[in-house]
Amino acid sequence: MIKIYTVASCSSCKKAMDWMDKHELPYQEINLITDPITKEDLLEILALTEHGTVDIISRRSQAYQRLNIDFETIKLNELVQIIEENRTLLRRPLVVDEKRLQVGYNDDEIRKFLPRPRRKIEIETAKKRVLDLEWQTPSDSHEISS
């Protein structure tokens, strides 16, 4: 199951959920402010990062500025506790499944959550559209828009 960690005022979170809806992918929205998040949830997210805390901590957040902590030097249990107490530290949206993590919304990268057969079909369809456009002459494109 895909989980999307969000906050209500986040436009990128809305885009991620709209994309999931458009592609008919089931997901669970987890509001970082109001919904319960377990230590295990946070550990799963951390386990999926490539560069650890750098990937998921928002250095521009007010919580980050206020706390003034070097996240690379603290112990894992301390990190999890700090995040549990200051959830706005997390970048968003965090889109997670059993194998993948996407931080933020990116139209191309989010496609990795499509099942492989559907990804292949979408790529083939997109290539066909590009080829069809390349074969149109300028007069053809004028006729299409009329």
Task: Judge if the upstream peptide bond of residue 93 is cis by omega within 30 degrees of 0.
Answer: yes
Q: Is the pTM of this model over 0.75?
A: yes
Residues annotated as part of the active site:
10
State how far the Cα of 121 lies from the Cα of 43, in Å rounded to an integer.
Answer: 34
Between strands 2-6 and 27-31, the pairing is parallel
7-63: pLDDT as tens digits: 999 999 999 999 999 999 999 999 999 999 999 999 999 999 999 899 999 999 999
78-113: pLDDT as tens digits: 999 999 999 999 999 999 999 999 999 999 899 999
6, 16, 26, 106, 126 from 112: Cα distances, Å: 19, 13, 14, 11, 16
